[in-house]
Amino acid sequence: MPSTAIERKTYAALPPAVGPYSHAVKHGSTLYLSGFTAFGTEAQGQSLEKQANAILEQIKVVAADEGTDMSSLLKVTLFITDFSQVGDLRKVLAHHYAGNLPASSLVEVSKLFSPELNIEIEAIFGV
**Separation in Å, CA 119 to CA 4, 27, 68:** 32, 26, 24
- pLDDT value of position 2: 60
CA 98 to chain centre: 16
Helix axes 86-97, 48-65, angle to 10 degrees: 20
Q: Walk me through the domains of the chain, giving residue ranges and CATH numbers.
A: 22-126 (3.30.1330.40)
Question: From the first residue on, what is the mean pLDDT of each consecutive set of 10 residues in the chain (127 residues)?
Answer: 84 91 97 97 97 98 97 98 96 97 98 97 97
